[in-house]
Amino acid sequence: MQTKHKQLKEFIIISALLIFGFAYFIWLNKAPSPPSIPEEAKTAYKALEKLQAATQTGVSFDKYTELLIEARAAVNSAEFKLPVISEKILRDGYDPAPEYRLENINFKMQKAMDAYQSAKTAWWHKITNKNLSDTPEGKLVLSKYAFLIAPNMDGDTAIQKLWDRADTTLETLHKLIEN
């Protein structure tokens, strides 16, 4: 009788250990939850979307400048809440591992902001009847976006190409923030 009782006790202990071990194994191997996105990043994304909407519906240079300042302030605020990653790791078209999601959001916000700022520079050159190659600011835009715009390109085309570049970046940013 004692052996059956001893066997039953051993069976219960072994079963409990197996169940605990299995539960612990599952807990260890569960997928990590994605990092939460700071509110500042969501606010910055909304400011960039507002700027995008203005470029799609028609906007004056002065209103564009105002929206650009608002977006820059929001992006700057978000930048301090998000980790930074090297541009060598995050190139356009490269989809980093999920653990770099916040870094990628920061990177994409900066890329969109830069394209919008460069479009403002191109627009200013158009208004003042200057070529981008005539000023240091314009030369900087040409060097950054040599793959996209040419020195002799008309201002409207250069502006639209830069806005399109920002739009493409915002599409990626939307996926990162909404997922």
Taking the C-alpha atoms of residue 59 and residue 173, their distance in angstroms, rounded to an integer, is 23
* pLDDT at res. 31: 60
> H or E element: which one contains 35?
none
pLDDT of the residue at 41: 86
Better-scored residue on pLDDT, 86 or 27: 27
Predicted pLDDT at 1: 58
The pLDDT value given to residue 97: 55
Question: CB-side exposure of 90: number of CA atoms within 13 Å?
Answer: 23
Alpha-carbon separation of residue 156 from 114, 125, 161 (angstroms): 18, 10, 9
Position 102 scores a pLDDT of 74
Residue 114, pLDDT score:
95
CB atoms within 10 A of CB 43: 15
- How do residues 61-76 score in pLDDT, each as one tens digit? 999 999 999 999 999 9
pLDDT, position 166 = 95
Question: Of 4-18, 140-154, 156-170, which gets the smallest average pLDDT?
Answer: 4-18
For residue 43, the model assigns a pLDDT of 92
Inform me whether the pLDDT recorded for 37 exceeds 60. Answer: yes
Identify the pLDDT of residue 56.
93
